[in-house]
Amino acid sequence: MSKIRYERPVIKKLETGMPNKFGTRTEYVPMTHIDGVSVKSLIKEYGTPLFVISEKTIRNTIKKAKKAFDTRYPKVQFAWSYKTNYLNAVCSIFHQEGSWAEVVSGFEYDKAISLGVDGKKIIFNGPEKSEEDLTKAIMNDSLIHIDHLDELYTITELAEKLKLRPRVAIRVNMDTGVYPMWDRFGFNYENGQAWDAINKIMHSGKMELVGLHCHIGTFMLSPFAYGVAASKLAELALSVEQKFKHEIKYIDLGGGFASKNTLKGSYLPGTDTNPTFDDFAEAISTALLNSNFKQDKLPLLILETGRALIDEAGYLLGSVISNKRSSTGRRNTILDIGVNILFTSFWYDHKITPAQSFTQYSEDTCVYGPLCMNIDVIRESTSLPLLNRGDHVVIHSVGAYNMTQWMQFISLRPHVVLIDTDEKPHVIRLRETLDNMNSMELIPSHLGIRKSQIVNRKS
Ligand SMILES: *Cc1c(COP(=O)(O)O)cnc(C)c1O
């Protein structure tokens, strides 16, 4: 048995308030391994901070999501939301699992093409698509989801110029009973904008209206809202069929399913309360099957699920820099992980687990990052055992959005490692270097120092 560590006694104020249903302690065992790879060895090899992604978890999660839908609806297609995590290795796993690409910018569109995705399997969303982007998308026969009338007219012009018939859908926003309503993207259902746009497309005769799209929000906790959305899109599709004798090939319900993370201020952990893929699939497929589509005319159901497919596959390893007491005596622990690389700590109470053995006492702790900024708080309050300088922690469920929204602020972004299904780690994105940063900067000659000198002066 290993020697029990001495812990300095502390006198602490009795906190009143309810324990959660698991009692006041949240951590019982250290997290020493991720998919069979020791956390210690990962840190020794790559340092901290370090993002770690589990390929096994990604594959299991997408399989679970597909199964939930495939067992309830005959025609289902997932499209990977690039902005949720567009590391090439991550996108490639989803493409191997059969997902199409869902992109929201010219940059993401080019990224999908560079990964070898068939243009016909790229869904191009978003309010900003330049003429150049649209031209590319039309030539590649991609699925263009129109966001506003200006885009509709641009596509009409391009179709004439290129003598091609673009495949388009419109993005529809609507009241699903969840507020505030996301009504800034696409055309509104209730006030008739969506029907207007459809009529303009059909009467122009220049485009092939293949689908109807919506993306009603993100981290949605209500499967019912998806049922409402599916019914409204089904109704629109049936109206098109009736008026124009034209069949809508697919209904795309976007993304937004909640992951298992815990929203700030929630009483119970998200793992216990958030809806499952089965809950969402049940609401959506029931709405579509109960609509007036004939059985042999059911549209393809497309899903652009992002965060719910990747959040749990991501971990962030960090080191303790110091502990101190605040002016009120509360314990503050400072990590080498800041909000610049853990953007989602603004929304979630991320679970933090020590990576080495610890004693049984825990204390309410505020966890700070290393940035010289007051907003750099990872957890305002969490019960943690004593952590010493140099100890390590594992932050859970960080796979969504952090590796796309991260900021290079006062330091360099860290390595990202993928653990493959044979429990072998691979670096999939290198830690940035000062040279990487300097290579993009230029100093006008009147300021004396030349770019090459900066690089040469590096110690
Ligand atoms: C961001 C986005 C998604 C993915 O959303 P999640 O909340 O990550 O599931 C899907 N579709 C569109 C149009 C988006 O903008």
CATH code (residue 37): 2.40.37.10
pLDDT > 80? residue 121: yes
pLDDT (0 to 100) of residue 25: 57
Residue 442 Cα, ligand 1 centroid: separation in angstroms?
36
Average pLDDT of the residues in 75-102: 98
Ligand 1 in contact with 305 (CB < 6 A)? yes
Ligand 1 in contact with 218 (CB < 6 A)? yes
Average pLDDT of the residues in 27-55: 95
d(CA 413, CA 49): 9
Show the tokens assigned to 70. Answer: 């495939």
Q: How many domains does the chain have?
A: 2
pLDDT (0 to 100) of residue 359: 85
Ligand 1 in contact with 222 (CB < 6 A)? no
Strands 331-335 vs 300-303: parallel, antiparallel or unpaired: unpaired
pLDDT (0 to 100) of residue 336: 98
pLDDT > 50? residue 440: yes
Element (H, E) at 38: strand 37-38
pLDDT > 80? residue 132: yes
pLDDT (0 to 100) of residue 18: 45
Residue 2 is assigned to a structural domain of this protein: no
* Sequence-distant (≥ 6) Cβ neighbours of residue 447 within 8 angstroms: none
Neighbours of 436 (CB within 10 A): 13
Ligand 1 in contact with 173 (CB < 6 A)? no
Element (H, E) at 54: strand 50-54
Mean of all residue pLDDT scores within the chain: 93
Domain containing residue 414: 33-52+312-435
Average pLDDT of the residues in 125-131: 98
| DSSP, residue by residue, 304-360 | ---HHHHGGGEEEEEEEEEEEE-TTS-EEEEES--TTT-GGGGTB---EEESS---S
d(CA 99, CA 109): 15
| In a shared domain, residues 257 and 169 | yes
pLDDT (0 to 100) of residue 279: 98
Residue 62 is assigned to a structural domain of this protein: yes
| In a shared domain, residues 102 and 235 | yes
Boundary-marking domain end, from 311, 332, 355 = 311
**Is residue 95 classed as helix, strand or coil in its secondary structure?**
helix
- 137-146 per-position pLDDT tens digit: 999 999 999 9
pLDDT > 60? residue 106: yes
Q: Whose CA is nearest to atom 10 of ligand 1?
A: 255
Show the tokens assigned to 445. Answer: 């000659």
| In a shared domain, residues 327 and 305 | no
Ligand 1 in contact with 254 (CB < 6 A)? yes
pLDDT (0 to 100) of residue 8: 74
| Radius of gyration over every alpha carbon of the chain, rounded to an integer in angstroms | 25
Ligand 1 in contact with 215 (CB < 6 A)? yes
Residue 447 is assigned to a structural domain of this protein: no
Burial of 337 (0-12, 13-18, 19+ CB in 10 A): buried
Residue 122 Cα, ligand 1 centroid: separation in angstroms?
14
pLDDT > 80? residue 454: no
pLDDT (0 to 100) of residue 457: 53
d(CA 183, CA 188): 7
| In a shared domain, residues 261 and 361 | no
| In a shared domain, residues 265 and 124 | yes
pTM for the predicted model, two decimal places: 0.92
Q: Whose CA is nearest to atom 8 of ligand 1?
A: 306
Contact 64, 72 (CB under 8 A): no
Ligand 1 in contact with 104 (CB < 6 A)? yes
- 381-395 per-position pLDDT tens digit: 999 998 999 999 999
| In a shared domain, residues 108 and 195 | yes
Q: How confident is the model at residue 452 (pLDDT cuts 50, 70, 90)?
A: low
Residue 149 Cα, ligand 1 centroid: separation in angstroms?
22
d(CA 398, CA 407): 15
Residue 62 Cα, ligand 1 centroid: separation in angstroms?
15
| In a shared domain, residues 212 and 68 | yes
| In a shared domain, residues 316 and 213 | no
Burial of 375 (0-12, 13-18, 19+ CB in 10 A): exposed
d(CA 390, CA 76): 48
pLDDT (0 to 100) of residue 26: 61
Strands 33-34 vs 37-38: parallel, antiparallel or unpaired: antiparallel
- 239-258 per-position pLDDT tens digit: 999 999 999 999 999 999 99
| In a shared domain, residues 303 and 317 | no
Ligand 1 in contact with 369 (CB < 6 A)? no
Average pLDDT of the residues in 404-413: 96
Q: How confident is the model at residue 41 (pLDDT cuts 50, 70, 90)?
A: very high
Ligand 1 in contact with 311 (CB < 6 A)? no
| In a shared domain, residues 275 and 394 | no
Residue 404 Cα, ligand 1 centroid: separation in angstroms?
13
Residue 164 is assigned to a structural domain of this protein: yes
Contact 423, 365 (CB under 8 A): no
pLDDT > 80? residue 291: yes
Of 78, 85, 104, the residue with max ligand 1 atoms within 8 A of its CB, to mutate for a pocket test, comes to: 104
Q: How confident is the model at residue 266 (pLDDT cuts 50, 70, 90)?
A: confident
Show the tokens assigned to 211. Answer: 């689908």
**Residue 11 main-chain phi, psi, to 5 deg:** -100, 125
Residue 213 Cα, ligand 1 centroid: separation in angstroms?
12
| In a shared domain, residues 224 and 269 | yes
Ligand 1 in contact with 85 (CB < 6 A)? no
Contact 72, 281 (CB under 8 A): yes
